[in-house]
Chains A and B, each alone.
Chain A
């Protein structure tokens, strides 16, 4: 079946512009995660959605970052007034919401802020 998909695969933007990154999770998965991976760094947790519960936003680095998940499926990560330090690969993952759980990752969106 289809895996997690993300779009765009690459995004180049100018400093100060807003960007939207999209994630289509595996159908039926109740949990959805956003991570950021910078060169040579590990996965940095950003935000976690589980069913209808309030999202865990504890990993968002600043108020320029926000995310929403519509209809319990597709999610959009928005970065406002982008900065050069926002350049990274943004990974989305989804899971069944079990405990313990296996996360299924998308291919990521490579964001470059000039």
Chain B
């Protein structure tokens, strides 16, 4: 069955450092991958989308890579700030798929300490 793993349940880093979150998947060949941010008591918020033919996407301090050979996506936050503390979810999708096209991972809770 399809499986998505996000590297750890929690990641603690110091302010100013680069946070790197990992999303691995098996038994699936997604056409695209998305990253969402979820704050406590709120629904997830879309951050970035990367397609299978794209190696890297950037948005301000965020960078996402997508390696279809390794079946892995890396999500980087550079110059991290305490305000970046949240749970980050990866989601895989395929064109024309069912189930709303997205399968979500369990998320990684990032804590950035001042």
Given the contacts A43-B104, A102-B46, A108-B43, A58 and B89 also touching, CB distance less than 8 Å: no
The number of inter-chain residue pairs (CB within 8 angstroms) is 68
Which A residues lie within 8 Å of B100 (CB)?
A: 31, 33, 45, 48, 56, 93, 95, 101, 103
What is the chain A residue whose CB lies nearest that of B31?
A100
Which B residues lie within 8 Å of A33 (CB)?
A: 100
State how many residues of chain B have any CB contact under 8 Å with chain A: 27
Interface locus among B56-64, B74-82, B90-98: B90-98
Out of A45, A59, A100, which one reaches B95, CB within 8 Å? Answer: A100
B104 and A58 contacting across the interface, CB-CB below 8 Å: no
Task: Mark interface residues in A70-100 (1 if CB within 8 Å of B CB, else 0).
Answer: 0000000000000000000001010100011
A107 and B42 contacting across the interface, CB-CB below 8 Å: yes
Which 10 A-B residue pairings sit nearest by Cβ, starting from the closest? A105-B43, A42-B106, A43-B104, A48-B100, A33-B100, A102-B46, A100-B32, A56-B98, A45-B99, A105-B44
